[in-house]
A and B are shown apart, each in its own frame.
Chain A
Amino acid sequence: MEAHRLQDFTEIDKLRLQLLNNSKDATSFHHLEAEVCPSSRDILNRIEDIILGIVTSLSQDEAPVLKLPNRSSWANISFDSTVGLQMNSGHSVTALRSDSPSSVNKFAQVLKILSVIYRLVQSNTYATKRDIYYNNTQLFGSQATVDSIVDDISCMLRAPRRSLHVLATSKGLISGDLCYMEEDGMRIDCRSSSAAVPVSSNIAGIRNIVSSAKFIIIVEKDATFQRLMDDDFCTKLPPCVIITGKGVPDMNSRLMVRKLWDTLHVPIFALVDSDPHGIEIMCIYKYGSMAMSFEAHSLTVPSVMWLGLLPSDLQRLQVPSDVLIPLTKNDEKKLSSLLQRPYLTDQPDWQKEMEVMQRTKVKAEIQSLAAISPDFLTNIYLPNKLRYGGWV
């Protein structure tokens, strides 16, 4: 029975072989990992260079200026099909002047966080972004400010955030055929069918990953993830892992997906709502985001496939029209924007699906499949999709 069940999913095995043939040598991933991960001494030196620059400016009677790479300009981004969106080497910068009222606050905030990071790295201790914010709420004003500046510093120092000894609380969940060990020696078993495991906040410290999963499914929403958990999805099908970032994924969720790809080299599918927002979230996992393009090598998984809910599925499955939602003006704007992204030219099948959405002018959540039957998603839709290669 087990063998028969596994035979039904030969398409997934074929895909896996195809992906292994297409991807570069596995060691190159680890080599890149080492390249982008500077040592503690490197981090301290880079911070000291910045301070020395400030002191030098003052000694020359000039106002110090901090130059932050501009992470919000498409002009600084280029697309590589093997990596995704990455920051150009000759990117433009934003100058923070210490003598300008409009930028002096941010200048001070950056210096403050640099001093915190310096101490953390020097003492080999860790703090979360939340700790940094609550240590000086008056200076920072909001958590979002701290989050943004930590990413700016990560880009400026050319070091991943984990090298700065700044942690972030993960919001993602993971479940399925997966066991691993955390850096502190705790063994994590994701095979429980009743409770999902929070994604680790120290992905780099994970070791001894053990899994016989044939594929991984990235689930956009927590509601869909819980539905799969409730329906024991991971035990009904061949061994698999499901993971959700609960919407726009945080860095740890993305790092976890990347780590699973690097370790297991199994197909990774995305299960998102059939709407522009869901497609954008899927693109973040696959190609990365503009804001984090400087760390694309460790965050993207260009091999992610779009499993569902495809716009063409809505027509093919004759999903009842009363659960379909008309696209808003913002949806149409976002859809047009997505179609112009550089990575879409590499994905003609995705383009076709998005053009179907543009033409029909409707969107639908995954939950709309329940209108066909309550267990349609886990008992029919997903198994058939996986069995017959219904991904693009």
Chain B
Amino acid sequence: MKDMRHLFPEWSAHMEAFLRSFSLVNAEINIHLTVKVDQHTVQYAFGAKVKKKLKLFSPVPLKLDVTCNTQPAIYGKERCWCLGGHPVCGSRLHVSIPPHAMDQGLFGDLSIQFVTLLSPCVLQYPNLATHISNIQLMVFNPSRVPVLKVPRFFQTLPAFLDFEDLGVDTLHCSSKDVQQLCGTSTYTSEPPSCSGPQQETSAVWQRVLVFLFLQLTDPFTSQLTDVMATEVLIERHLEDILNNNRHAMTVALQSELRNTLKAHNCRKKIKEKLNSAAEVILSSSISIVSCSSNLDFRRDCLNRMKVRDTQELSAAFGESLRRVTSWKCVPRHSCYSAKVRGMFAYRHVSGLVLICCHFHFSTDERTFRV
């Protein structure tokens, strides 16, 4: 795939983010994009491999693309891996419309429906350690189209969130870390500091996706043109709406993130427990082997672990114990499991699969022809 982004640097990133975001929450729609630049033609496809239907307040169910292409950190053998995610329908927050927005014609009952998704799914590996790489907030208008301009509200939001309460104390947020791209605000974290032999080499990086679906109920708005006009108003006044409901928004987001990260925090506690016990198991077992005068027993232990002496045995025993306990698999019917074989030991790739798209656009109309 030829990278045409250098031809249209300003618009390419926005377009791919837009189509990607759109595709995420409209998984029933397959998008095919053909771009011709000079003599070069590039084709793109946006579609979901794994879809999940959610019933929201809206009469039309939401179909989310929950496909996850993250390569897990797998050691050697073939393992089950969930290729999708499990979105959670959160709370619905009713927000008030500021007076000047009402003056402009924005009426009705406005609410924000939260849906969260932790990805990749590691539910089948209850002992696996996880780190949170980033939290992404994505805002959609009532037609489930990504909001183009991200409100500044989300830039300052990290200052009002209690990350310690969320248990992500390594999440470092500042305005320069907040990336805003086509309706998406991303808060990134610093990698955890490595400390001695206890560092977790088989941890999986996860991201938290928070979908904010704006929903408006107005019995006087039924015509398509009215609906479109209303959505334009919502987008235009979104900053004010969010600021007008700052406290409620902050509390709601804190609650949603806390619920989503509960599983992550439980894993931390489980990991600490397993690591602590592993130290005792290792030291007790090696102590017996080291002080045994039974040569057959010592030789059998060394041979089975394919090592030469008790020092190597200690290292191999410890590593093996941590690996088998971390990768304990408890299959789940609700997961989208597939057999995956890892290529390298303890190496992982995380993040979205970005799809580049370039297209011819008309600057005077500000519409995209795809």
Shortest beta-carbon distance from B318 to chain A in Å: 10
Q: A62-B324, A98-B325, A105-B277 are in contact. Are A111 and B284 (CB under 8 A)?
A: yes
Question: Which residues of B163-208 have CB atoms within 8 Å of chain A's CB atoms?
Answer: none
Confirm or deny: B333 has a beta carbon within 8 angstroms of a beta carbon on chain A: no
Confirm or deny: A107 has a beta carbon within 8 angstroms of a beta carbon on chain B: yes
**Residue in chain A with minimal CB distance to B77:** A61
Name the one of B280, B291, B300 contacting A119, with C-beta atoms under 8 angstroms. B291
Verify A56–B304 contact, CB threshold 8 A: yes
Task: Tell me the complex Cα distance, A101–B320, Å.
Answer: 17
Verify A44–B294 contact, CB threshold 8 A: yes
Confirm or deny: A115 has a beta carbon within 8 angstroms of a beta carbon on chain B: yes
Verify B291–A99 contact, CB threshold 8 A: no
Confirm or deny: B297 has a beta carbon within 8 angstroms of a beta carbon on chain A: yes
Verify A118–B321 contact, CB threshold 8 A: no
Residues of A within 8 A of B281 (CB): 54, 64, 98, 107-108, 111
Verify B284–A45 contact, CB threshold 8 A: no
Question: Which residues of B268-317 have CB atoms within 8 Å of chain A's CB atoms?
Answer: 270, 273-274, 276-278, 280-281, 283-285, 287-289, 291-294, 297, 300-301, 304-306, 317
Verify B284–A112 contact, CB threshold 8 A: yes
Verify A58–B320 contact, CB threshold 8 A: yes
Q: A56-B304, A98-B325, A112-B280 are in contact. Are A104 and B273 (CB under 8 A)?
A: yes
Verify B328–A55 contact, CB threshold 8 A: no
Shortest beta-carbon distance from A227 to chain B in Å: 48
Confirm or deny: A304 has a beta carbon within 8 angstroms of a beta carbon on chain B: no
Shortest beta-carbon distance from A119 to chain B in Å: 7
Main secondary structure of the interface of B (DSSP, over half): helix
Verify B297–A48 contact, CB threshold 8 A: yes
Residues of A within 8 A of B297 (CB): 48, 51-52
Name the one of A47, A58, A114 contacting B324, with C-beta atoms under 8 angstroms. A58
Residues of B within 8 A of A98 (CB): 277-278, 281, 321, 324-325
Question: Which residues of A87-110 have CB atoms within 8 Å of chain B's CB atoms?
Answer: 98-101, 104-105, 107-109
Confirm or deny: A124 has a beta carbon within 8 angstroms of a beta carbon on chain B: no
- Known contacts A51-B288, A52-B297, A54-B281; 17 additional CB pairs below 8 A are A44-B292, A44-B294, A51-B289, A52-B301, A52-B304, A57-B324, A98-B321, A99-B325, A100-B328, A101-B270, A104-B278, A107-B277, A108-B284, A115-B288, A119-B291, A122-B293, A139-B280
Confirm or deny: B127 has a beta carbon within 8 angstroms of a beta carbon on chain A: yes
Of listed B127, B270, B297, residue having the most chain A CB within 10 A: B297
Could you tell me which B residues sit within 8 Å of A by CB distance? 77, 127, 270, 273-274, 276-278, 280-281, 283-285, 287-289, 291-294, 297, 300-301, 304-306, 317, 320-321, 323-325, 328
Verify B292–A48 contact, CB threshold 8 A: yes
Verify B285–A118 contact, CB threshold 8 A: no
**Residue in chain B with minimal CB distance to A110:** B284
Verify A101–B274 contact, CB threshold 8 A: yes
**Residue in chain B with minimal CB distance to A104:** B277
Q: A47-B288, A48-B288 are in contact. Are A99 and B305 (CB under 8 A)?
A: no
Verify A58–B277 contact, CB threshold 8 A: no
Residues of A within 8 A of B292 (CB): 44, 48
Tally A residues with Cβ within 8 Å of B.
33
Name the one of A55, A101, A109 contacting B317, with C-beta atoms under 8 angstroms. A55
Verify A114–B288 contact, CB threshold 8 A: yes
Residues of B within 8 A of A105 (CB): 273, 277
**Residue in chain B with minimal CB distance to A138:** B276
Task: Tell me the complex Cα distance, A52–B294, Å.
Answer: 12
A-B contact pairs, 9 of them (CB 8 A): A48-B288, A55-B317, A61-B77, A98-B325, A99-B274, A101-B270, A108-B281, A119-B287, A122-B291
Nearest 10 pairs of A and B residues by beta carbon: A108-B280, A108-B277, A115-B284, A111-B284, A99-B328, A58-B320, A59-B304, A99-B325, A104-B277, A48-B297
Task: Tell me the complex Cα distance, A232–B284, Å.
Answer: 52
Verify B317–A99 contact, CB threshold 8 A: no
Verify B328–A63 contact, CB threshold 8 A: yes
Name the one of B127, B287, B321 contacting A115, with C-beta atoms under 8 angstroms. B287
Verify B305–A118 contact, CB threshold 8 A: no
Residues of A within 8 A of B277 (CB): 98, 104-105, 107-108
Task: Tell me the complex Cα distance, A51–B287, Å.
Answer: 10
Task: Tell me the complex Cα distance, A101–B273, Å.
Answer: 7
**Residue in chain B with minimal CB distance to A59:** B304
Shortest beta-carbon distance from A368 to chain B in Å: 51
Q: A104-B274, A111-B285 are in contact. Are A48 and B320 (CB under 8 A)?
A: no
Q: A98-B277, A101-B273, A119-B291 are in contact. Are A114 and B284 (CB under 8 A)?
A: yes
Residues of B within 8 A of A52 (CB): 297, 300-301, 304
Task: Tell me the complex Cα distance, A63–B274, Å.
Answer: 12
Residues of B within 8 A of A100 (CB): 328
**Residue in chain B with minimal CB distance to A112:** B284
Shortest beta-carbon distance from A98 to chain B in Å: 6
Verify A55–B324 contact, CB threshold 8 A: no
Verify B294–A48 contact, CB threshold 8 A: yes
Shortest beta-carbon distance from B233 to chain A in Å: 52
**Residue in chain A with minimal CB distance to B270:** A101
Question: Which residues of A110-155 have CB atoms within 8 Å of chain B's CB atoms?
Answer: 111-112, 114-115, 118-119, 122, 139
Verify A55–B274 contact, CB threshold 8 A: no
Question: Which residues of A273-304 have CB atoms within 8 Å of chain B's CB atoms?
Answer: none
Verify A55–B285 contact, CB threshold 8 A: yes
Verify A58–B288 contact, CB threshold 8 A: no
Residues of A within 8 A of B294 (CB): 44-45, 48
Name the one of A55, A57, A111, A122 contacting B280, with C-beta atoms under 8 angstroms. A111
Task: Tell me the complex Cα distance, A52–B313, Å.
Answer: 12
Residues of B within 8 A of A109 (CB): 280
Residues of A within 8 A of B280 (CB): 108-109, 111-112, 139
Residues of A within 8 A of B288 (CB): 47-48, 51, 114-115, 118
Residues of B within 8 A of A63 (CB): 324-325, 328
Task: Tell me the complex Cα distance, A109–B279, Å.
Answer: 11
Of listed A57, A58, A63, residue having the most chain B CB within 10 A: A58
Task: Tell me the complex Cα distance, A54–B285, Å.
Answer: 9
Task: Tell me the complex Cα distance, A54–B297, Å.
Answer: 13
Name the one of B77, B276, B320 contacting A59, with C-beta atoms under 8 angstroms. B320
Residues of A within 8 A of B321 (CB): 58, 64, 98
Of listed B283, B288, B293, residue having the most chain A CB within 10 A: B288
